[in-house]
């Protein structure tokens, strides 16, 4: 695994969203289901998206060799989300120790998602 890619759902910061809802949105876009492997709700609850063995659909030209984690919200994330995100990343790094933790925007300059500097954040919390 080359990348662990952090995303945001680009939903209102105060709206509770589920992986099931995102799955429905992605199906309506003609995709074959939720593009992320993991989804973190505003409450910090971790939900599964697609299985890790199934290539994601979350970052253009970098889906092969990457795991996608999506946070509910747009640009203000909860402390519970942050703690859950740290835990998931640490679990993934146990399995994929050479993976780089990045934001969607680090791999696609046309994007601002997840609207924070993932590399700086990760350095400050790991």
What is the distance between the alpha carbons of residues 89 and 83, in angstroms, rounded to a whole number?
10
- Domain boundaries along the sequence of the chain: 3-125
104 is catalytic: yes
Query: pTM for this one?
Result: 0.95
Q: Which of 7, 37, 58, 62 is catalytic?
A: 7
Q: How many residues appear in the chain?
A: 126
What is the distance between the alpha carbons of residues 95 and 105, in angstroms, rounded to a whole number?
24
Q: With cut-offs at 50, 70 and 90, classify the pLDDT of residue 31.
A: confident
53 is catalytic: no
**SS3 of 87, please?**
helix
Q: Which of 26, 37, 104, 105 is catalytic?
A: 104
37 is catalytic: no
Q: What pLDDT, in 10s, does the model give residues 56-84?
A: 989 989 999 999 999 999 999 999 999 99
Q: Which of 59, 48, 63 is nearest to 103 (CA)?
A: 59
Bridge partners, residue 39, by sequence: 47, 70
Region 3-125: CATH code = 3.40.80.10
Taking residues 5-25, report their average pLDDT.
95
111 is catalytic: yes
What is the distance between the alpha carbons of residues 58 and 107, in angstroms, rounded to a whole number?
11
């Amino acid at each position: 695994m080359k990348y662990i890619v952090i995303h945001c759902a680009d939903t209102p910061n105060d709206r509770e969203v589920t992986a099931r809802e995102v799955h429905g949105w992605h199906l309506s876009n003609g995709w074959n289901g939720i593009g992320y492997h993991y989804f973190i709700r505003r409450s910090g609850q971790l939900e599964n998206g697609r299985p890790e063995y199934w290539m994601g659909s979350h970052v253009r030209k970098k889906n092969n060799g990457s795991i996608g984690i999506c946070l509910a919200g747009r640009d203000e994330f909860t402390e519970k989300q942050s703690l859950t995100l740290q835990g998931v990343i640490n679990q993934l790094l146990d399995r994929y120790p050479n993976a780089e933790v990045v934001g969607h925007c680090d791999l696609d300059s046309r994007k601002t998602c997840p609207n924070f500097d993932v590399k700086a954040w990760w350095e400050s919390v790991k």
